[in-house]
Amino acid sequence: MFFRLHRDSQWWKLHTAATTFGLPGGCYTRGDVEVAFRRLARKAHPDAGGTCEAFDTLVAQRELLLTDLLVRDFRVRSKVAR
């Protein structure tokens, strides 16, 4: 069965963010996200010649990846506690 992925879906947003950051899907740590963010922010920041839109997108993607890590950690801890 074929499912069409919408660009507004959570999975698509996470996939896009992980790809932008150069991280393998679902296999990254908070440190990996922060290192990749700093590397990309050096180019995307408006003071470094980037645009506000590019930097804002990068910040939003970082928050999305970090939130996903928190949710996954919570789910793992909830299963262990049972």
Q: Does residue 29 lie in a domain region?
A: yes
Q: Give the model's pLDDT for residue 21.
A: 96
Our count of domains for the chain comes to 1
Residue 58 belongs to domain with CATH number? 1.10.287
Contacts of 14 (CB under 8 A, 6+ apart): 25, 64, 65, 68
Mean pLDDT of the chain: 88
pLDDT at residue 29 above 90?
Answer: yes
- Would 73 be classed as within a structural domain? yes
Residue 5 pLDDT class (50, 70, 90 cuts) = low
Instruction: Answer whether residue 3 is part of any domain.
Output: no
The structure's pTM equals: 0.82
pLDDT value, residue 1: 46
Cβ count near 28 (within 10 Å): 18
Specify if 4 maps to a domain: no
For the stretch 30-62, pLDDT in tens is 999 999 999 999 999 999 999 999 999 999 999
Does the residue 67 lie in any domain? yes
Of 7, 17, 8, 24, nearest to 64 by C-alpha is 17
